Structure formats: structure tokens, C-alpha cells
Amino acid sequence: MEKFVEQYLGRLAVGLLVLEILGIAGWCVYRYGGTHYDLQITHSVGTRPLSQPVNYQITGYVYRGRAVNAAGHSQMVTLKTNSDNPGPFRKGQWVRVTVNQHYGVTHYRVLKAAQHY
């Protein structure tokens, strides 16, 4: 009887661990996943304050434009920079954005000259 309980609890613990890992992976895909689009910067449509640790304020920028994915589909995208890379970006510069259908732009990075779609 004792062996059965130990095996049952061990399998239950492994099953719960697998379930937790699948739940976390699913949440990450839901929250941060999306379609990658390339956005060419034309001009900033505004600024916004960004907070750094210790109440240090910096300026973030807002860009809006039509972005294109690898399949050639385009979508209007609003990019609000964050404190990791607040900008400003140069005119003509390409930025790859990840657009999530639930949360909008979840990630962006500046591309080198020949990397865009």
C-alpha cells in the first residue's frame, strides 16, 4: 500500500509540474506572441513620459504607420517606445514590431539596413 501511495504521489507531482509548464508556456504565447511586422519610421506623432528607477523621467516617442509582414500583408501600427530603447528613431529607419491581437505591440527592435522584409 505504501509503495502505491509513493508512486501515485510521484506521478501526480510530475503531472502537476508538466501542467504548470504548459500553462506558463501558453500564457507567454498568449501575452507576448504575435505577428512580426516591419515598420519604416517617417516621423514621431508624439511623446510621452517614461519613468526610470529612482523617479528619473525620460521622454518616450510614439510612432504610427503602415507596417508590412513577410507575407506582404500590411497593418496600421502604433509603436510606443519603452525605457529600454526610448528613441528617437531616425527618419527612414526600420523597426521590427511584434503585434499581439490582444495587447498590441509587445516587442520591437531596430533593424540593420538589409534586414527588413
Question: In degrees rounded to 5, what are phi and psi of residue 98?
Answer: -105, 120
Cα–Cα dist 93/46, whole Å: 17
Cα–Cα dist 8/14, whole Å: 10
* 116 band by pLDDT with thresholds 50, 70 and 90: low
Q: Record the pTM.
A: 0.76
What pLDDT digit, counting tens, does each position of 55-81 carry? 788 899 999 999 999 999 999 999 999
> What total number of domains does the chain contain?
2
> Which CB contacts under 8 angstroms, 24+ apart, belong to 23-26?
none
Same domain, residue pair 42 and 72: yes
What pLDDT digit, counting tens, does each position of 9-53 carry? 888 999 999 999 999 999 999 999 899 999 999 988 899 888 888
Determine if residue 110 is left, alpha or beta; phi over 0 gives left, psi from -120 to 50 gives alpha, anything else beta: beta
Same domain, residue pair 78 and 27: no
Q: What is the CATH number of the domain that holds 82?
A: 2.40.50.480
Q: What is the DSSP letter of 72?
A: S
Predicted pLDDT at 54: 79
CB 115 within 8 A of CB 94: yes
Residue 115 lies in a domain: no
Residue-number span of the structural domain to which 1 is assigned:
1-32
Residue 116 lies in a domain: no
Name beta bridge partners: 94. Answer: 40
